[in-house]
Structures are given as C-alpha cells and as structure tokens.
Structure 1
Amino acid sequence: YILCFCLNAQELDVHKIELTDIVLISTISEYIKETKTFDSLFNHVGYVKVHVRGLNNYNKEKEIFRIYYITDSSFPLEKNDQDKSYPDYYTYIDDKLVLIYNDLNKELFKYTFSSSSKKKLRKLMDPFLSPKITPKYLPKNKKERDFIKDFREQYVRFRHTELIIIKGENPIVIKNVH
C-alpha cells in the first residue's frame, strides 16, 4: 500500500530577529560602510540581503561551519511575487534593513508566507526604496498610467561579499566577487 498525505501548507510570518553571530554582524556592518563609500546613494536607497547557504553542525576537522552570501538591493518586493522572493527573517544593522533568506529551508520545505506578513514587510522596505513616480509625471493614458503607477528607479551594484566561517579558525571573507 502507498499512503499519501496531503497537508495544507501553513502560512508563516516573516519574523524580526536579533543576530547573535558577531562575525556576521561585523561583516554586514563593514559591507554597509563600504557600499556607502562606494556609492553615496546607498546612504538613503537600498537594503542588505543575506543568504544562509550552508550550515555544518557536525564539526568534522576544518569543515566549513557556515556560509553567508551578502548583497545589497534597491528592488521592491511586489504583492504578486512568489513566496521564495520573501525572506525568512529581517533585522536592522547600522539603521539598514537586512533581509535574511535561509536557502536551506527553501530547498527542504515548501511553505507560504501570510498575506499580512508580506504586506508588513513591503511597508518596512518602503523607506529603503527610491520614491515612486509622482502622479504629475504619470502618462495621461490610463493603460500606460496603470502599467507604471508603482514604478521606482532601481539600482544595481555588481558586488557582493561571501563570508565563510570555518569552525575553530578565523573566518574567510571574500569581498566584491563578480
């Protein structure tokens, strides 16, 4: 006999967290400072994304303990974006919004975020995005106006940092990898 169980996916909330890994916190802080120096626009437009790429809690000799991939973005999350576009957690470091994606969870589990949680996150992101086009600059044609009513300028920086922590040794920080 083959038994199949269909379970309705529980809707989850995106939670605010406090990071405890001081190496990760200092690396993110350094990334923010460098990016602001590199591009002054980042002082008021943009947020940080951290992807947890690997965890190894088995601690065999010199194995990689944790891998974090750190980037910045100025792209808004949209109402109709897939759930995988939304982070699992968020926090603030140096007054910047930091979205944390646990890539391992997304590989192992299929889950959805509640509409209210996604809406709340989009609202939290708003101060870190460029302003929407003002109504006076919208086209007169209704179809064109509806198409671009939420348009914002978006910026791409081709840089990121990868933080690799090897248990018992100094972490390896690889910066500005293209």
Structure 2
Amino acid sequence: MNITLTRSLLVILLPGAMALSPWIVLLLITHPDYIPIYKEYKYELLGIGAGLSVLFGMIFEGISSYVEVRWDDTIGCTYKVEENWHKYLAASYENEPVAYRYISTKVTTMYFEFAMMWVAASSAFGWAWVVCSFKPLHFEAWAWACVIVGLSMSWYFKYMAKSSHELLCIIRLKVNMINNK
C-alpha cells in the first residue's frame, strides 16, 4: 500500500474515528429521537462523520507535532537533533539508503502512537459516560474502569511514542555519521 495512504489512514482517519465513536454512541443513546434522522440521512451523516474524523485526526497530529518539537528541544544536545534533521533532509543519493525507508516507517509508527495517546485519553471519558448512560450494575465501577484503562493506554502510547522518537534521533545521527553527511 502507498506509504502516504497508509500514513493518512493510520495517523489521521482511524484515530479521528476512534476518538469520535464514543461521543456518537452517547449522542444516539441520550437522544434516541435522532435515530430516524440518522436513518433518513445515513450517507450524508457518514460523510460528516468522516470529515469530523479527519478534523480530529489532524488536530491530534498538530498537537503531536508540537510535543515532538518539545522533545527535540529536550534531547537536542545529546543527538544533535536539529543538525542531523537538516542533514537528513538535504542529503541526496543516487540510491536511497535502506535506512530512509525504515525511518519513514518508524515516523508513521510514532505518529500513530501519538494519535492513539490522544484517542485513549479522550475516548476513555466518552466510554465512561456511555456506561453511565446504560446504568448497568455497578456502573460507577465500570465507568472508573473505562477511565483508568483509557488513561493507562494513553500513558503507554506516550511511552512508546517517546521511545520511537528517541530511536529516530539515534538512527538519523548514525546514518549521517556513516554517510559522512
């Protein structure tokens, strides 16, 4: 699959849809009178949902870029992040190094991890609210479980994104050193 399409699906559309889903479920649970409207205008509302998914995904990506730059600032001296980033971008080769493809794949992974960090945090509260709307037995415990699991997953994805970020800094440094750039 084309890397641009894969990146768009994994980093923007899928996380945006996952973040939006508990809130749509909540809307339909709390306002069942909207269900006939959904049935009547299904395709139009699916288009709006897809558009909102892209919007949320783009917002997550923007926030993630901001966080990535802050991380660059904190480890910049250790890995010469800015210098190596510019060397990496300016390098031209007759045959592209294999590492460039790996870096590209790892960047997609990192941005997916970033996006899932935001998704887990935002949808934890949405699913907790959905659980409370159904009022199952011990619903408070289920709602807290949603929040705790969601925030734990958010922390895990942040840890993974930070690990991916550091790995990318190391790889760019090594590639530039090996290629004398």
TM-score, shorter chain, exceeding 0.5: no
Higher strand share: 1
